[in-house]
Amino acid sequence: MYSWRPPRAVEIDRKMREDFARRLKEGYGITSDTTDPILAVLFRTFAVQIEDIYKEAGETIPPAVLDELIAGLGMPERRSRPAQLVVKFSLPSGEDLFEAGTELIGETSSGERLVFALDSDVQISAAKLVFAGSYTSGQLRLLSGVEMPEEFEKSKPSLDPTPAALGPMPAVFLAIDVPEDSYLDRHGLYFELAPGSRALLRALRREFWCVLDNAGAVSSSGLLRPRAGRCGIRELRSLSETRSDAGESLAEGFYSSRTFIFPAFSPERRFLSVIPQQMEEPIQRIFGKTADSLFRKQRAWIKIGLPECHNLNEEIIRIALHCVTASNLEVLNQTLYFKRTGTSVPVSSEAGTAKHLVQPIAVIGESGTTYLTESQPSSDPSVGRYHFRNGRIEISPAQPAQGVADEYATVRLLVSNGSRANSVGAGSIKTFLSRGASPGLSVTNLTAAAGGTDGEPSRDARERFAELLLCRERVVTQSDLEVVVKAFEPKVSQVRIRPTLERTPQGLRRIHRVTVVVSKDLLLDVDEQSRVLQQELERHLKDRVLLDLDVRVAVEWT
């Protein structure tokens, strides 16, 4: 594919020399093998200046045109992505709940203090991760990078793989000591992965977890699945919980796919067991004579099924409890008096520090009405509107048919420091902005901040524009249907589509009967996961097919 590039100064200089020589010959019949030195200096000077003009045009015009197209079609404008880091808490006793949006202070390498807000509610307690093992190819093995309590370390457990009959699916097993009268409600886990662990990262984003029941076995009531929360952090939800997309539609953070928050468990689902089924012998081999004393206590055991991930021990560097992501987000509140500030003002803090828009929260006019973006439809011609352009918010005040136009508006925006926040290193967070800490509580960030941008890169914006413009999420042909099914659930090995007609009270209706085939080896609980897959896939397809077409989904397993 041809890709345009701006001409270099040397190419422009050569072209000007050739054109000058040709014009001399055609117009005056003069030919010369040498160039006047004064002309040579002029040609070279003009070439450098023209090169700069080409370069500036190539960098500014395409993004400007793209921004105009995006704004004209009512698509979300290019916005900043907040930097994200992983915060770890430690509390020797008791419990403490930190709500989403709790602000912490991080210092950059230059000493600048920036605000990071927690992406999810997180409960901190004295719970401890005491066991973490990977199971692949019929062998159970301790994850070497996971720090265990002192009594477990003193037993000098074997790091060699041990034969185990725990099924065909690769998995990670975790055991967590929970304090009395407490459980894993809203506790956070962070997985640090080796570079290049793309298959494992994809699996963690979507695969089911299971809190093993009181008998140490997989059960449908213990199944959990990850859902994207604020800034993409993975919230684990039970299968019975209705899916909700009412959260903030913020871009996924750098560490979001590796950080997980447990739900609040009902009393009947607070499972505890001693050793999971079929794991007694492997545990004995790993811990030797101390196994009986170490594993006599009931704990919360978790199994994470990870199909197609066969190098878990090499790819998982660390698993840490009591972790949650925090993003460089602040709420900016401004009251704009139009006579004083005008209707176009930059997105910045009260102190004038440059901020970058992440997402508008609300614009409320003097009369109390909510302003709409330019692309939002409304039958009220007097409604106030706003849009963002080149780092500024531009407002059209509400003008009632009978009454006075709004003289001011209150603007609430979610903003970030953009790429500046990426300079916050690991261990730079030690305190909260305004919240007090419990006695004995310590807080720090395990990771450096990463992923912050001043605005969406042009390449990402072009891809988003093309996808939305071409309506790729809509299903038109049978091939589209098969592609959408496999994109929704990669474990589907085969898709069979049978068009048919069905008699209904409203007359004949076209129906596509879609049968998907999944291997039982890729499911923790065949019946329950098949039921959920059938319901969610059918709902997913009905939202995307043509208006006069219906879809029926059936799930088979082999």
Distance, first Cα to last Cα, the chain: 43
**What is the predicted pLDDT for the residue at 244?**
53
DSSP state of 424: E
Q: How many residues does the chain have?
A: 558
User: What is the distance between the alpha carbons of residues 552 and 409, in angstroms, rounded to a whole number?
Assistant: 50
**What is the predicted pLDDT for the residue at 538?**
86
| pLDDT tens string 6-25 | 888 888 888 888 888 888 88
- Nearest 10 degrees: CA dihedral of 304, 182, 233, 245? 100
Is the four-CA dihedral 414, 71, 456, 259 of positive or negative sign? positive
Residue 476 contacts residue 546 (beta carbons within 8 Å): yes
Residue 397 contacts residue 372 (beta carbons within 8 Å): no
DSSP state of 169: S
Domain ranges within the chain, ordered by starting residue: 9-72, 126-321, 330-416, 471-557
- Report the 3 state secondary structure along 181-249: CCCCCCCEEEEEECCCCHHHHHHHHHCCEEECCCCCCCCHHHEEEEEECHHHCEEEEECCCCCCCCCCC
Helices (H), 193-254: 198-206
User: What is the distance between the alpha carbons of residues 460 and 553, in angstroms, rounded to a whole number?
Assistant: 34
Residue 269 φ/ψ, nearest 5 degrees: -115, 15
Residue 292 contacts residue 102 (beta carbons within 8 Å): no
Token pair of 211 as six digits: 């809190």
Strands lying side by side in the sheet with 84-90: 424-432, 103-108, 113-118, 323-327, 84-90, 442-445
For residue 484, how many other CB atoms are within 10 A of its CB?
Answer: 20
At 117 the three-state DSSP class reads strand
**What is the predicted pLDDT for the residue at 184?**
94
Is the four-CA dihedral 452, 456, 462, 467 of positive or negative sign? positive
Strand (E) or helix (H) holding 51? helix 37-72
Low-confidence ranges of the chain (pLDDT < 70): 1-4, 59, 61, 63-64, 66-77, 242-249, 348-353, 401, 437, 458, 461, 463-476, 546-548
| pTM for the full predicted model | 0.79
**What is the predicted pLDDT for the residue at 246?**
43
**What is the predicted pLDDT for the residue at 377?**
78
Token pair of 202 as six digits: 């994809």
Residue 304 φ/ψ, nearest 5 degrees: -115, 110
Residue 211 contacts residue 145 (beta carbons within 8 Å): no
CATH architecture classification, 471-557: 2-Layer Sandwich (3.30)
C-alpha angle 244/221/100, rounded to 5°?
A: 40
Residue 151 φ/ψ, nearest 5 degrees: -65, -30
Strand (E) or helix (H) holding 154? helix 150-154
